[in-house]
Structure 1
Amino acid sequence: MGDETTRAAIEAVWRLESTRLIGALVRIVRDVALAEDLAQDAVVAALAQWPASGIPDNPGAWLMTTAKRRAVDAFRRRARQDVAAAALARELSEAFDEDPGAGLDHVEDDVLRLMFICCHPALTPEAQTTLTLKLVAGLSTREIARAYLAPEATIAQRVSRAKRTLAEAGAALEEPSGAERAERLTTVLGVVYLLFNEGYSATEGDDWMRPALCDEAVRIGRILTALVPDDPEVHGLSALMELQSSRLAARADGDGEPVLLDAQDRKRWDAARIRRGLAALTRADELVAGARAGAGPSGGRGSYVLQAAIAAEHARAASVDATDWNRIADLYAQLGRRTGSPVVELNRAVALGRAQGPAAGLALLDQLEGVSALDGYHLVPSVRGDLYEQLGRGHEAAAEFERAAAMTSNARERALLLRRAEAARRAG
Structure 2
Amino acid sequence: MVATLVRRFGDLDVAEEAAADAFAAAVARWRDDGVPPNPGGWLTTTAGRKALDRLRRDRMRDEKHGLLLRLQDERPDEPERTIEDDRLRLLLICCHPALPMEGRVALTLRMVGGLTVPEIARAFLVREATMGQRISRAKARIGAAGIPFEVPSPEHLPARLDGVLTVLYLVFNEGYLATGDQAEPVRQELVLDAIRLTRLLHGLLPQEGEVTGLLALMLLAEARRAARVSPDGELITLDAQNRGAWNHAMIREARELLEQADRLGTARRRYRILAAMSATHCSALRAQDTDWVRIVALYDGLARLDPSPIVLLNRAVAVAEVSGPRVGLDLVDGLREALSGYHPYFAVRADLLRRLGRTAEAVDAYEQAIMLTANRAEKALLSRRRDALVTAGDEPAEGRSAPLERGGPQPPADIPG
TM-score (norm 1): 0.85
Aligned residue in 2 for 1:15: none
1:307 aligns with 2:274: yes
Aligned residue in 2 for 1:267: 244
Bigger drift between 354-363 and 62-71 goes to: 354-363
Aligned residue in 2 for 1:65: 45
CA distance in 1, matches of 2:321, 2:375: 26
Aligned residue in 2 for 1:25: 5
SS in 2 for 1:204: coil
Which of 360, 382, 387 matches 1:395?
A: 360
Amino acid in the other structure paired with 1:157: Q
1:213 aligns with 2:190: yes
1:400 is displaced (CA, Å) by 1.4
Aligned residue in 1 for 2:405: none
Amino acid in the other structure paired with 1:88: R
Post-superposition Cα deviations, 1:62-118, rounded to whole Å, max 9, x if no partner, equal 21121123244455667797774454233x21x13xxxx426331222111101111
SS in 1 for 2:98: coil
CA distance in 1, matches of 2:87, 2:14: 16
Aligned residue in 1 for 2:143: 167
Bigger drift between 216-225 and 77-86 goes to: 77-86
1:377 aligns with 2:381: no
Aligned residue in 1 for 2:31: 51
Which of 40, 60, 76 matches 2:20?
A: 40
CA distance in 2, matches of 1:203, 1:86: 41
Quickly say closer, same or farther: Cα 1:396–1:85, change in 2 above 3 A.
Answer: closer
Equivalent residues of 2:8, 2:71 under 8 A apart: no
CA distance in 1, matches of 2:232, 2:349: 27
Bigger drift between 180-189 and 81-90 goes to: 81-90
Aligned residue in 2 for 1:123: 99
CA distance in 1, matches of 2:35, 2:286: 45
SS in 2 for 1:258: coil
1:413 is displaced (CA, Å) by 2.0
Aligned residue in 1 for 2:231: 254
Equivalent residues of 1:78, 1:85 under 8 A apart: no
CA distance in 2, matches of 1:306, 1:32: 35
1:387 is displaced (CA, Å) by 1.8
Quickly say closer, same or farther: Cα 1:58–1:256, change in 2 above 3 A.
Answer: farther
Which of 360, 364, 376 matches 2:331?
A: 364
Quickly say closer, same or farther: Cα 1:247–1:57, change in 2 above 3 A.
Answer: farther
CA distance in 2, matches of 1:212, 1:355: 37
Equivalent residues of 1:116, 1:175 under 8 A apart: yes
Quickly say closer, same or farther: Cα 1:69–1:333, change in 2 above 3 A.
Answer: same
Bigger drift between 55-64 and 111-120 goes to: 55-64
Equivalent residues of 1:243, 1:312 under 8 A apart: yes
Amino acid in the other structure paired with 1:409: A
CA distance in 1, matches of 2:193, 2:49: 27
1:200 is displaced (CA, Å) by 1.4
Which has more helix, going by share of residues?
1
Post-superposition Cα deviations, 1:367-425, rounded to whole Å, max 9, x if no partner, equal x244x432311111211111222334333322211121122233432232122111122
CA distance in 2, matches of 1:369, 1:38: 45
Equivalent residues of 2:217, 2:275 under 8 A apart: yes
* Superposition map of 1:116-195 within 5 A: 116-195=92-171
CA distance in 1, matches of 2:335, 2:78: 56
CA distance in 2, matches of 1:159, 1:201: 24
Bigger drift between 322-331 and 78-87 goes to: 78-87
**Kindly, what percent of the aligned residue pairs are identical?**
45
CA distance in 2, matches of 1:340, 1:252: 31
CA distance in 2, matches of 1:404, 1:346: 15
CA distance in 1, matches of 2:313, 2:151: 38
CA distance in 2, matches of 1:86, 1:399: 61
Post-superposition Cα deviations, 1:25-49, rounded to whole Å, max 9, x if no partner, equal 1111122221111111111111112
Bigger drift between 343-352 and 151-160 goes to: 151-160
Aligned residue in 2 for 1:89: 71
* Superposition map of 1:210-359 within 5 A: 210-287=187-264, 290-291=265-266, 300-359=267-326
Amino acid in the other structure paired with 1:23: A
Amino acid in the other structure paired with 2:226: A
CA distance in 2, matches of 1:408, 1:422: 17
Amino acid in the other structure paired with 1:156: G
Post-superposition Cα deviations, 1:125-158, rounded to whole Å, max 9, x if no partner, equal 2211111111111011121222223332222222
CA distance in 2, matches of 1:279, 1:424: 43
Quickly say closer, same or farther: Cα 1:183–1:107, change in 2 above 3 A.
Answer: same
Equivalent residues of 2:293, 2:322 under 8 A apart: yes
CA distance in 2, matches of 1:55, 1:282: 48
1:321 is displaced (CA, Å) by 0.9
Aligned residue in 1 for 2:410: none
Aligned residue in 1 for 2:408: none
Amino acid in the other structure paired with 1:221: T
TM-score (norm 2): 0.87
Q: What count of residue pairs does the alignment treat as equivalent? A: 390
Quickly say closer, same or farther: Cα 1:344–1:85, change in 2 above 3 A.
Answer: closer
Amino acid in the other structure paired with 1:145: A
Bigger drift between 272-281 and 79-88 goes to: 79-88
Amino acid in the other structure paired with 1:122: A
Amino acid in the other structure paired with 1:170: G
